[in-house]
A and B are shown apart, each in its own frame.
Chain A
């Protein structure tokens, strides 16, 4: 099947701001920006987690990304290979059932980063440009289990709830967060349900001890 040559109806991210990536990487110096990629019109800048706050501060102050759309985490455990395993077996092994309407060669998904979790932010230029020229960018950093990420509250105050949710659901601790408590689940909850190794349907029934 040929590549789709039409307009996708979802909102555009604006022209990918690759010049900003160059400036960001010059500002941060060696090892700050790991890589960047443009996929489906979306610019993702992968950065070192140690420079997480520096990146956000630079993008806000120098590049005008004044609006934190969202902060989210992904658990990439088993993303590529066996666990992801929606790939056909037997006679169909290796068939690319992935692409719509085609059966070419397989292109097994590979995890985009070296570590288990990713923390991403979607930033947006809102007030700093006329609304027809706003741009979005995703910054993404990879962390291991238990590795701390610096809080973004000092740069984007609205990161408060997002970071609490990331701690609650994914168990990623944010260094310097003044109130890192569970937000959606009760305080006594054990584990972080959004993780891929969290058991499904196996939670103990509450209040059933004395029955």
Chain B
């Protein structure tokens, strides 16, 4: 694959911190070391993350993360809800890459059930997973540029993000957290007029992404701030279990959409991941910008090859019957009632379904005891894991670079704290 063909690159060494891998304690005995709090309410910490930094002058010599400010007990809540009610909870974690949460949760239930999803639903899911990735990366780019002192990109990105959400609104009625994914497929078929709108958006964004790319690639200030800052060598990234764009920025050919053939409709679409070479802050921005391009390609491929057929599986024990049948069919009414009140039962077992969210490997570990509620759901949040490496990466950098590195790792605190 691509990683093996490339000439071996000399990476700087980055040791895992010891004894605590996620915490940097100052080695200097300088009495002037200053301890400052970044956050929890600091605009650059992307939500409510508290970084306790120890500074020697302007150099970061100690760093500790304090998490948990937006812990809402989603894992515990999911144990109290029937499977189909849980679908609304998961997207509230990673609220920027919301649709991936829905898809991953539904996929793990489907894996437990052994339920087949119609091809059309798989394609629709991919369209919306890629739209949500666009949404997430646009916000990443916008807020990331604010962290680096450029305000213009924020407005551009938020404007375009609204166009992405317009499509969600058109199909689902909601702009965010649409609960569009269902166990067995998607809740509704695409409305008429979706395809031209989607193609319009693809054309529009393809233009715009070129502009944004120019804004960061050709901007000397941006390059000064990011090139060579916070280099993560691949072996360190693997040790600290970085995933997603953060890993691919270090040149590791790993994307769950393509690894082992991918999942869902990605299997048929044949995706090849975007890789960067240097693993610095610039590359982590660059990879995401390029990923937006490939997302647009994927959306276009899905629109071109969108299969006809049902949008949801036809298993009446799991899937809600079509609305119109409720007026005429007693059985449908009973099924509807049973699924809504009691939920459907899922065979006992444990599964782990990792999917590629905008932030990396979003894993769903689900244990069923055979009842209508999951016994245990463990969500493996990519942001939670990504934050472990920030102390080692920011070691010896300027405080301002710490902000840039944090922005480039793209943590979402809702995702991290659940």
What separation, in Å, do the CA atoms of A99 and B112 have in the docked complex? Answer: 10
Quick one: which of B107-153 are within 8 Å of A by CB? Answer: 107-108, 110-117, 122
Of the stretches A7-15, A22-30, A49-57, the one at the interface is A7-15
What separation, in Å, do the CA atoms of A9 and B119 have in the docked complex? Answer: 10
A40 touches B349 (CB 8 A): yes
What separation, in Å, do the CA atoms of A158 and B236 have in the docked complex? Answer: 10
Of the residues A4, A74, A126, contact of B375 by C-beta under 8 Å: A74
Check if B68 is an interface residue, CB within 8 A of chain A.
yes
Check if B361 is an interface residue, CB within 8 A of chain A.
yes
What separation, in Å, do the CA atoms of A115 and B48 have in the docked complex? Answer: 38
With A84-B369, A138-B352, A183-B68 as contacts: A97 and B385 at CB distance below 8 Å: no
B115 touches A100 (CB 8 A): yes
With A11-B353, A72-B378 as contacts: A153 and B260 at CB distance below 8 Å: no
With A4-B115, A70-B365, A184-B67 as contacts: A136 and B352 at CB distance below 8 Å: yes
Q: Chain B's nearest CB lies how many Å from the CB of A111?
A: 9
B260 touches A14 (CB 8 A): yes
* Closest B residue to A70 using CB positions: B380
With A8-B116, A9-B264, A67-B241 as contacts: A179 and B80 at CB distance below 8 Å: no
Quick one: which of B358-398 are within 8 Å of A by CB? Answer: 361, 363, 365, 367-373, 375-376, 378, 380, 384-385, 387-389
Quick one: which of B282-336 are within 8 Å of A by CB? Answer: 315-318
Chain B residues with Cβ below 8 Å from A99 are 345, 347
Chain B residues with Cβ below 8 Å from A178 are 19-20
With A9-B117, A160-B20 as contacts: A69 and B361 at CB distance below 8 Å: yes
What separation, in Å, do the CA atoms of A131 and B107 have in the docked complex? Answer: 22
A11 touches B262 (CB 8 A): yes
What separation, in Å, do the CA atoms of A7 and B349 have in the docked complex? Answer: 18
For chain A, the bracket of interface size reads 35 or more
Of the residues B73, B241, B252, contact of A69 by C-beta under 8 Å: B241
B369 touches A160 (CB 8 A): no
Quick one: which of B232-261 are within 8 Å of A by CB? Answer: 234-235, 238-241, 252-256, 258-261
List 4 extra interface pairs beyond A12-B263, A86-B370, A108-B370, CB under 8 A: A9-B264, A39-B350, A99-B347, A112-B350
- Residues of A in contact with B (beta carbons under 8 Å apart): 3-4, 6-14, 39-40, 42, 44, 66-70, 72, 74-75, 79-80, 84-87, 97-101, 107-109, 112, 120, 122, 126-127, 130-134, 136, 138, 153, 156-158, 160-161, 165, 169, 178-179, 182-186, 193-194, 200
